[in-house]
Structure 1
Amino acid sequence: MTEFAPHRARKRFGQNFLHDHGVINRILRAIHPREGQHLVEIGPGQGAITSGLLAGNTRLDVVELDHDLHPILLARFGHNPLFRLHKGDALKFDFSSLVEAGEKLRIVGNLPYNISTPLMFHLLDQAEDVADMHFMLQKEVVQRLAAQVGENHYGRLGIMVQYRCQVEHLFDVGPGAFNPPPKVDSAIVRLTPHASLPHPAKDLSCLERIVREAFNHRRKTLRNTLKPLLDSSAIEAAGIDPGLRPEQIDLAGFVRLANHLADQERGQ
């Protein structure tokens, strides 16, 4: 096998390479890749979990931006006919182009903080082609994704992701599992797109606007935060007390507000 100089993590790519075998094995058990499945790994780095994903005899596409890692990945896994490397930016990648008839993708990634939120929404836009997603993220981001109404981390990110997915905070990972160690704790989250939306909005853009306005000033009441979109009588017509704060409103409540806004804008 070709020998390569040790690859140094690049700060501009937000790289922190996983090296703790106990954590690696725990992640693989959570994913549980099985023969015949089609997996996609975003940012495989030096391949810490790539070999474990391939061990399940699964088809594996990997998307890696750092061109210095491409020869390392190809030397380790390029001989395997189930492995394909895509050189490029996951934020611009068309994941649906990998899908073959009758299958859905299982997506895995250790996501840098600076791209984690836009990348999740990029993938959710292709959710009909996705079975599930397992991501390593900053622990605080996972807490925000999984937070329920009334909890400290409950807010815009969690509501908009939970609209599309079931969210499971699986376990936490300390800085020592990485090289170099990050300054924050990490966590593993599982996102499973809903087969059918539990609370479908008439217009997704209305839901996005309602949630954004509500949480722009999260300590204020809906009467004040939603004033540019809905007056108090309209909020009450959606079955919501305008004196409540946004963190007191569940997903179903926000969808009712959004549907009322959609009807209002259509003149209904």
Structure 2
Amino acid sequence: MIVARKRFGQNFLHDQGIIRRIVQTVAPRPGEAVVEIGPGRAAITRPLLAACGQLDAVEIDRDLIALLRDPDTGLDGLTVHEADVLRFDFRPLARERKQSLRVVGNLPYNISTPLIFHLLDQIEVIQDMHFMLQREVVERMAAAPGGGDYGRLTVMLAAQVEVFPLFHIAPGCFTPAPQVESAFVRLVPHARPPFPLPDKALYARLVSAAFGQRRKTLRNALKGLAGEADIRAVGLDPTARAEQIAPPQYAALASHLLSLGAVIP
């Protein structure tokens, strides 16, 4: 019996009803390039593989890799990539499969946010993403401006994907049971940019600075990046705080600064 390892943030899904619901929601079809992050004991891997005939999986745990590659496990058609997913380059895999990727995973809570940002950096090769995450993270992803859940993750996602929270998953569906409730979410890259964004790096820098000191006003949080006149030039109130600003407004400020020849510090 392979036990969950805390250092990898492992919580193995075992509830068959939830597993069926996840696979039905993803709805993989034969020939699609599906990639599973962290296949674990193959609870979701097996039905995904049965549905699409071929599956790639990224796993770091060598004991689990040995299990997944064992012919007696019965996972013909599964290709396991032994790697730290935070360093895994999905682009060559998309080229090899000659299509964009559908990414699925029960993400370790301790790396979920940096992993999502890692995937956003490769969004051009991704068709969609379906993840199990901590419920609070999904609520932040889908939050509206003005609330406590609205933050850097919300704003960065808004520029590149549409977020669809789908359903909650109780702790008892996992082994070991986590201390928090989980949620299943779908992320779909925008077919067209939802708002003009000529410089993603500058946008990201502004958002990071604003939410890095979210109790401060924009005037103070963006000091060194944007002056009060710049903030007013795009119709924003310099005394507003980060959570009051919608994603297109951050993009407008980035565009304004770019027009003035701004350099990212």
TM superposition outliers: structure 1 runs of 4+ over 3 Å: 76-81
Amino acid in structure 2 at the alignment position of 1:189: V
Match of 1:124 among 117, 120, 123: 120
Per the normalisation by structure 2, the TM-score is 0.93
Is the 2:68–2:75 contact (alpha carbons within 8 Å) kept by the matching residues of 1? no
Query: TM-score scaled to structure 1, two decimals?
Result: 0.92
Query: Map of 1:119-198 to 2, 5 A cutoff?
Result: 119-198=115-194
Q: What does residue range 19-98 of structure 1 map to in structure 2 within 5 Å?
A: 19-75=14-70, 80-98=75-93
Judged with a 3 Å threshold, the aligned counterparts in structure 2 of structure 1 residues 162 and 114 are, in CA distance, closer, same or farther, namely same
Q: Displacement, 1:145? A: 1.1
> Residue 212 in 1 paired to residue 208 in 2?
yes
Match of residue 7, structure 1, among 2, 11, 16: 2
- Measured against aligned partners, the alpha-carbon deviations of 1:235-257 in whole angstroms (never above 9, x if no partner) come to 11112122222211111001011
- Across the two proteins, how many residue pairs are aligned to each other? 262
Distance in 2 (alpha carbons) for counterparts of 1:169 and 1:72: 32
Amino acid of the structure 1 residue aligned with 2:198: K
Residue of structure 2 equivalent to 1:16: 11
Tell me the residue number matched to 2:229: 233
Tell me if structure 2 keeps the 8 A contact 1:38–1:58. no
Q: Is the alpha carbon distance of 1:228 and 1:95 closer, same or farther for their aligned partners in structure 2, counting shifts above 3 Å?
A: same
Q: Quote how far apart the aligned CAs of 1:169 are.
A: 1.1
Counterpart Cα distance in 2 of 1:25 and 1:7:
23
**Contact 1:77–1:83 (Cα < 8 Å) also in 2:** no
Q: Matched residues in 2 for 1:210 and 1:183: separation? A: 34
Counterpart of 2:260 in 1: which secondary structure? helix
Q: CA deviation at 1:7?
A: 0.5
- Could you tell me how far 1:77 is from its partner in structure 2? 7.7
SS in 2 for 1:184: coil
Q: Does structure 1 retain, via aligned residues, the 8 Å contact 2:141–2:163?
A: yes
Segments of structure 2 that go 5 or more residues without pairing to the other structure are none
1:242-253 equivalence runs, <5 A = 242-253=238-249
SS at 2:52's partner residue? coil
Q: 2: distance between equivalents of 1:53 and 1:41?
A: 9
Local SS of the residue matching 1:68: helix
- 2:102 counterpart residue number: 106
Q: Compute the displacement of 1:80 (Å).
A: 5.0
Distance 2:121 2:218 in 1: 28
Distance 2:97 2:24 in 1: 27
Amino acid at match of 2:110: N
Structure 2 SS opposite 1:135 = strand
Cα distance, 1:50 vs. partner? 0.7
Query: How far 1:35 sits from its partner (Å)?
Result: 1.4
Whether 1:265 aligns to 2:261 is yes
- Tell me, what secondary structure is at the counterpart of 2:230? helix
C-alpha deviation, 1:59, in angstroms: 2.2
The Cα RMSD (Å) is 1.8
